[in-house]
Amino acid sequence: MDHPLPQLNQLFDYRIPVELLDDVVPGCRVTVRFSNRKLKGTVLAVRDRAEFAGKILPILDVVPPGPVLTPEVAALAQRIADRYAGNLADVLRLALPERKVRVEKEPPGERLPVAAPPLDHWDRYNAGEAFLRALRAGKAPRIAWSAVPGEDWAARLAEAAAAAAAAGRGALLVVPDQYDLERLDRALTAVLGPDRHVTIANSTGPTPRYRSFLKALRGEVRIVAGTQVAMFAPVADLGLVAVWDDGDKNLVSLHAPYPHAREVLLTRAELAGAACIVGGFARTAQAQLLVETGWAVSAPGRREALRAASPRVVPIGDDADLAADPSSSTARLPSVAWEAARKALAADLPVLLQVPRRGYVPAVSCQRCRSRAMCPECTGPLRLTGPRRPPVCTWCGRVDDPHRCAECGSNRIRAVVIGAARTAEEIASAFPGVEVVESNASERLDAIPAGARVVVSTPGVEPVAPQGYGAVLLVDTWAQLTRAELTASEEALRIWMNAVALCAPTGTAVVTADGGLPVVQALIRWDAAWFAGQELEDRRELGFPPVMRFAALTGPIGEAEKLAADLPGDLGAEAIGPIPVDEHTERLLLRVRRRDGAALAATLAKATAERSSAKAEQVRIQIDPREIA
């Protein structure tokens, strides 16, 4: 039933009128009357007799084009609702796209054959060739794949999908964003041929999304690629699921019950007996847990492949660096970074400079007392939007002109964080005559032409260079490493490896961080699996995810504590907090052993339904939230 109330998270019986007997089948959408309102619902089962003893209302109408919910996706939706303490109706809204009548009238297409792919590219990885052979034989291998630098990951995923299709099974590939999807779309077309796959993403609009959904539902194509909205796509005879760069936050749904695409795909692999790839240049602690529990096999690059593909990675901050260049510990771009950039530009190769923050100067402080510059109106942080411009509030947009420090009265300010725009300005002054371009979330460059230029980019939007970058410079690394988040080091390594992977094998990557740090060592050795193992062991000792299961309860002050106090004692839930979110809202964390995660989710779902029936203040529940700080 399409109803948001938690207490209505149950199945309802309706009578099938004689005139609709042939049309009402499991998986179809229907119109029913509920509480004097017409609502849409999905038929999950048809039985000879009802379990409800009271008056049973009739189904009013059947919504074309017939069954849209496959049995596999229906079972998956229930499992995901249970895992995330959510409503089945909410999950079905994620699974079933908006209907477009015009698309339903389009004639169906013919499914085209797919040839088996070659094995030669996957032989660069431990267990890679064996994985592809098992796929071609119709088996269900599972790997945690760590790609070597410069790898055409989209082509490798396309080859895996082709292997599954050649064995008569389907494939579902999920990537973090539209740019990754466009790259994967091109690779699938090149490997499979045209019209043998579809893509599903919100960015394409509701009509193309519904068209792709119907093509997959009708079995016209066996291969679906998409962003996280494609995780419930109705792929026939599912034989392979794959998620790329599973640490990216874009893979978490923004809608209740906030499932992570990786967890949805892992569940699908279990239900369908399908093969699985959890891949990326880096590796998350969650993926490492799959390896350590024996659920998946680790597939890193072979030693000779890593040697051939890896650029030289140079850290900054050890004793040798300080002896050679005493200013390297404080310089934003030490001499070794400048030298690497000059060498690349002289060879007519581009240079990539990764900056953690976009904007001009995203944060400023008082020049005299070093107090953070805050807005006198709303106390939000101030920033600079350009040279010789007054500070502007990040929250309310108020221009603070003239600015006076609230602590000492000084009108002088200094930069705390330098953004990409200001960095591009500095680089242009340092390299006159060299083109300097910027790539950020609002103005992203997908690729750049060959030739010498400097690209200043924020993490995650680095453009691809035709022959790779001659130098990759990772600056202001403290901004990632000092974040007060559980995944700070893991996320830093992920965005660094994604950037260094774009460097040419003959190039140099400079990371402005101490080479003794484990995260920097992992980058130098290109050993994400080792670092993920270290992270997992640390979290095991501290009792953090993914070894433990967490739930975040967010609501009006006092309400999260009331909900937690009503939980049964034998659940063993440990409360952490609450901590204030704002003046009206607080957040409470609950921690249980991993094996008790399902019981915690079921208990929270029941408590939420009871609170809703009692018209109590609602508390938002997130199972395994990305941020637990």
**Strands of the 312-315 sheet, one edge to the other:** 312-315, 503-511, 469-474, 351-354, 454-457, 436-439
The DSSP code sequence of 277-297 is EEEESS--HHHHHHHHTTSSE
- 405 is annotated as contributing to ligand binding: yes
- 393 is annotated as contributing to ligand binding: yes
Q: Which amino acid, residue 491?
A: E
Question: In Å, what is the CA distance from 74 to each residue of 5, 51, 173, 458?
Answer: 20, 20, 19, 40
- 28 is annotated as contributing to ligand binding: no
Give the side-chain half-sphere CA count within 13 A for 585: 10
146 contacts 300 by C-beta, under 8 angstroms: yes
Tokens at 598, concatenated: 């399902």
Question: In Å, what is the CA distance from 18 to each residue of 6, 12, 41?
Answer: 32, 19, 19
Tokens at 190, concatenated: 């090149």
Helix (H), strand (E) at residue 346: helix 335-346
Helix (H), strand (E) at residue 550: strand 548-556
- 503 is annotated as contributing to ligand binding: no
Question: Would you give the distance in Å from CA 554 to the centre of its chain?
Answer: 22
Question: In Å, what is the CA distance from 60 to each residue of 14, 46, 98, 161?
Answer: 10, 16, 20, 42
Q: Which amino acid, residue 543?
A: G
DSSP lists the bridge partners of residue 469 as 503
Please return the burial class of 430, using the count of CB atoms within 10 Å of its CB with bins 0-12, 13-18 and 19+: middle
Tokens at 344, concatenated: 């690349």
Give the side-chain half-sphere CA count within 13 A for 464: 12
Q: Which amino acid, residue 544?
A: F
Bridging pattern class, strands 548-556 and 585-593: antiparallel
Question: In Å, what is the CA distance from 392 to each residue of 175, 378, 404, 405, 440?
Answer: 36, 12, 13, 14, 20
- 378 is annotated as contributing to ligand binding: yes
| Nearest partner of 91 among 601, 629, 594, 628, judged by Cα | 601
Tokens at 510, concatenated: 């400079």
Instruction: Indicate the Cα dihedral angle 419, 425, 429, 434, nearest 10°.
Output: 110
- 276 is annotated as contributing to ligand binding: no
183 contacts 190 by C-beta, under 8 angstroms: no
| Nearest partner of 472 among 462, 481, 482, judged by Cα | 462
Per-residue HEC secondary structure of 562-626 comes to HHHHCCCHHHCCEEEEEEECCCCEEEEEEEEEHHHHHHHHHHHHHHHHHHHHCCCCCCEEEECCC
- 408 is annotated as contributing to ligand binding: yes
Residue ranges of the binding site for Zn(2+): 366, 369, 375, 378, 393, 396, 405, 408
Residue ranges of the binding site: 366, 369, 375, 378, 393, 396, 405, 408
